A and B are shown apart, each in its own frame.
Chain A
């Protein structure tokens, strides 16, 4: 089970680049929502710092972020 802290941030946040630098992965590997207006990022496991760049954003644990992304804003559901 992942113990990372997850955040959904705005793609147009002026601190976006700095936030991604704090997080796991690269600028090209991050996952965006379907509209490309937001992206989900996660801090490295064991990073318990309070980063000022993430102030104002909701922190999610693993179960919470799975639930938060389980909708048509973030997924293209399978054809039924």
Chain B
């Protein structure tokens, strides 16, 4: 048997937490001991969205000082392990208000913990043959720092001495790697996460923006730093409560007058802009949909493309899948770069103070130009579900925000956190939004 390190044990926890049926959303390595190592959540590089619940915490044995290098069985054939399963009162896993009382929540968390431990036993004993462990001891705990935290402390002993106990498998063990490498954690932290499903079902909720101060903001990623020579496509369902020039998709800096955005304003028109102040002169491509073409209170699918040619002729605009005759307001970009350091935002742009008063649903961005046929397919709801179709193109998909999606939008302690189900893993967090901003209003 190859030497096993504690970090490999931790990797097993990490991989298992990421399994869809684990019931857990977050894993942290190192707990309550300052000397221990805090690992970023692998769902969320850089830990941008913060901790999610229910979560698993691994308390490293105190006598281990250097967990990266110490061989687990080099120290002892029996190592006590303590795990903490935590959940937060008030909200369910999908961010909706908790309907269970605290006792019921505690009971459900215990079920998650027991299923996880049963699977862990199977993984450690049978799949990786790391060792066996004693019967786990489950103890409810309180947390002195957060009295809203529900905690189950689970302690057990990893050993080679007791026989393995069979367990039911709730998790599909075939999804875990066949062999466990010491670098697994690092690999997932820097590479493509093992579960990042483009194909996860479209959400059955939309997100309501108040037009005042609410938006969703993505972390910095070079993939979103569009240039005047970049090809890209913005796509979303949107419903307007007023036409107030709100930037519903933007990568824009008013201070620099640089970037790109899609808005809806004067004359009930969609407007698509690329702007640059390179060289001190303002250059703009600005195209608009026909005058008075839209009404409030109605869902539209809006898709715009730009092919990187530096001209208004390089843009196209589709409403409900139909390519429209756009009017050109400006065509003076003249090779100016639209790159800026602002974050990509949905629902409002704080640099201009122009916020969407309305709903958004299933926003997607590609780093290529979608064809008219693909634009039409994107705008066609799936007849079997009545929801948005799966993305027509996954290879160049750099953003898929399942705005308000039950499975990929989670309400944290005070804001919504969004995964990006695309080739890019940069996640997003809302600003000034509440649980009630997720609605069942759909196209």
Contact = CB atoms under 8 A, between A and B. Distances in A.
Interface of A: 1-2, 4, 6, 24-26, 29-31, 33-34, 40, 42, 44-45, 62, 65-66, 69-70, 74-80
Given A25-B431, A42-B212, A65-B212, A70 B286 contact: no
A66 B432 contact: no
List the 8 closest A-B pairs by CB distance, nearest first.
A25-B432, A31-B213, A75-B353, A29-B431, A76-B352, A2-B210, A76-B254, A74-B353
B432 A24 contact: yes
Given A25-B431, A66-B357, A79-B286, A45 B210 contact: no
A34 B352 CA distance: 8
A31 B212 contact: yes
Contacts of B242: 66
A60 B414 CA distance: 23
Give the one of A42, A62, A69, A76 with max B CB within 10 A: A76
Nearest to B439: A1
A2 B208 contact: yes
B265 interface: yes
A45 B244 contact: no
Nearest to A44: B434
Given A2-B208, A31-B212, 19 more contacts: A4-B434, A25-B431, A30-B432, A31-B213, A40-B212, A42-B212, A42-B213, A45-B436, A66-B212, A69-B353, A75-B352, A76-B254, A76-B351, A76-B353, A78-B245, A78-B265, A79-B282, A79-B330, A80-B266
Interface in B407-437: 414-415, 431-434, 436-437
A36 to B, nearest CB: 12
B37 interface: no
Given A24-B433, A29-B432, A76 B208 contact: no
B70 interface: no
Contact of B211 (A66, A76, A78): A66
Given A66-B357, A70-B244, A78-B265, A30 B352 contact: no
A42 B275 CA distance: 32
Contacts of B353: 31, 33-34, 69, 74-76
A34 B406 CA distance: 36
A26 B414 contact: yes
B265 A31 contact: no
A18 B325 CA distance: 51
Contacts of A45: 434, 436
Contacts, number: 76
B245 A77 contact: yes
Contacts of B284: 79
21 contacts: A2-B212, A24-B432, A25-B213, A25-B415, A26-B414, A30-B213, A31-B212, A34-B353, A42-B432, A44-B434, A62-B210, A62-B212, A66-B242, A66-B244, A69-B212, A74-B353, A76-B254, A76-B353, A78-B263, A78-B273, A78-B354
B271 interface: yes
Contact of A24 (B254, B329, B434): B434
B341 interface: no
Contacts of A26: 414
Contacts of A33: 353
Contacts of B286: 79
Contacts of B210: 2, 4, 42, 62
B350 interface: yes
A3 to B, nearest CB: 8
Contacts of A40: 212-213
B261 to A, nearest CB: 9
A29 to B, nearest CB: 4
A30 B210 CA distance: 14
Interface string B316-359: 00000000000001100000000000000000001111100100
A48 to B, nearest CB: 15
B333 to A, nearest CB: 13
Given A66-B212, A69-B212, A79-B286, A31 B434 contact: no
Contacts of A74: 353
Nearest to A25: B432
A20 to B, nearest CB: 11
Contacts of A79: 257, 275, 282, 284, 286, 330
B414 A78 contact: no
With most chain B CB atoms within 10 A of its CB, the pick from A44, A69, A75 is A75
Nearest to A23: B432
Given A66-B242, A66-B357, A78-B263, A31 B350 contact: yes
